[in-house]
């Protein structure tokens, strides 16, 4: 049997596991792992992760629900870092997406908890929704050595703002872009014709053409075709079912994206202040709808996590 598609992909791209499930990480051996409120909610309801919840409650007696949740998120991240050699992404409460000051405060709280657990800050990425307020929070955090992963990213405007802010990493959502176009046009898309794939290719080429250091991590995939069409991207974060598909496949994986690729060499460099950012982002109906929908969904799962933790505290 030939080399698996997953092993081949790892030669071109840093593979990241998009899950809160430790067993998955042990099987597929990704470099990094990403979590979000939905993944943590899903994981913490499994019996094998209940001890993490119980410990967070026991260790934080007399503290607020919010403090217990912070402890829970960090305990998940700390356990993940015992498995993956690289970094873990931990998300700031989606309800803070339009509050720069509180996003900074929450990020600093999470980093302090990680440091207390013996985790160096360079192994943690704080995930923040790519609103203007989120980008401004990340810009300030990066200056103090807190590395950020800007998530729920759908528009070119969001990507440009992140690069200008010196953000460590962005997570453009390939699958959700694909979902929107499929629903709105009634067409199916594959490979290089996929609008989600095209979005990441454009961002990647733009960053490399102008020497931005911000890492591009394609996220939210619907099928392996989308992943293979972005082989060579800095990082790709992949769900357990698609990691399994790639590990069971021996389909050849060719590098598609390359920093030497001149595709965007004649692109025009743009600079965005708040007004031009809002105008450019709001010119993209898909991006506006998907960013708002993503924030609502993460906030709803955050509320469910609050309920779960509250009942565990009683």
Give the pLDDT of the chain (314 residues) as one tens digit per residue.
Answer: 689 999 999 999 999 999 999 999 999 999 999 999 899 999 999 999 999 999 999 999 999 999 999 999 999 999 999 999 999 999 999 999 999 999 999 999 999 999 999 999 999 999 999 999 999 999 999 999 999 999 999 999 999 999 999 999 999 999 999 999 999 999 999 988 999 999 999 999 999 999 999 999 999 999 999 999 999 999 999 999 999 999 999 999 999 999 886 565 668 899 999 999 999 999 999 999 999 999 999 999 999 999 999 999 99
Are 162 and 214 a contacting pair, CB within 8 Å? yes
- The verdict on pTM exceeding 0.85 is yes
Comparing CA positions, the residue from 79, 39, 75, 34 lying closest to residue 55 is 75
Beta bridge partners of 32: 16
Q: Which domains are seen in the chain, by residue range?
A: 5-313 (3.20.20.70)
First to last CA, the chain: 54
Residue 255: Cβ-neighbour burial (10 angstroms; 0-12, 13-18, 19+): middle
Please tell me the distance from the alpha carbon of residue 87 to that of residue 92, in angstroms, as a whole number.
16
By annotation, the residues acting in catalysis are: 127
Residue that is written with structure tokens 């499930």 in the block:
21
Cα 130 to its chain centre, rounded Å, is 11
């Amino acid at each position: 049997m030939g080399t698996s598609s997953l092993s081949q992909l790892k030669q071109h791209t840093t593979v990241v596991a998009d899950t809160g499930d430790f067993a998955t990480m042990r099987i597929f051996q990704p470099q990094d792992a990403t979590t979000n409120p939905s993944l943590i909610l899903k994981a913490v309801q499994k019996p094998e992760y209940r001890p993490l919840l119980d410990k967070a409650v026991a260790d934080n007696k007399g503290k607020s629900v919010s403090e217990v949740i912070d402890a829970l998120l960090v305990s998940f991240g700390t356990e993940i870092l015992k498995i993956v050699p690289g970094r873990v992404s931990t998300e700031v409460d989606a309800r803070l997406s339009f509050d720069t000051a509180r996003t900074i405060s929450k990020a600093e709280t999470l980093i302090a908890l990680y440091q207390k657990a013996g985790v160096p800050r360079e192994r943690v990425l704080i995930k923040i929704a790519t609103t203007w307020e989120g980008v401004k929070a990340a810009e300030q955090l990066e200056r103090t050595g807190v590395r950020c992963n800007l998530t729920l990213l759908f528009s070119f405007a969001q990507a440009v703002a992140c690069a200008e802010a010196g953000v460590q990493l962005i997570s453009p959502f390939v699958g959700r872009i694909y979902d929107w176009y499929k629903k709105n046009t009634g067409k199916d898309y594959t490979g290089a014709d996929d609008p989600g794939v095209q979005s990441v290719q454009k961002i990647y080429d733009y960053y490399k053409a102008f020497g931005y250091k911000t890492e591009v991590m394609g996220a939210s995939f619907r099928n392996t075709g989308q992943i293979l069409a972005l082989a060579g991207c800095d990082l790709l974060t992949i769900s357990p079912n698609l990691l399994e598909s790639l590990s069971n496949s021996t389909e050849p994986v060719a590098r598609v994206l390359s920093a030497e690729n001149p595709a965007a060499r004649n692109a025009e460099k743009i600079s965005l202040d708040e007004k031009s950012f809002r105008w450019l982002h709001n010119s993209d109906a898909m991006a506006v709808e998907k960013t708002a929908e993503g924030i609502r969904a993460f906030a709803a799962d955050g509320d469910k996590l609050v309920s779960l933790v509250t009942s565990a505290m009683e």
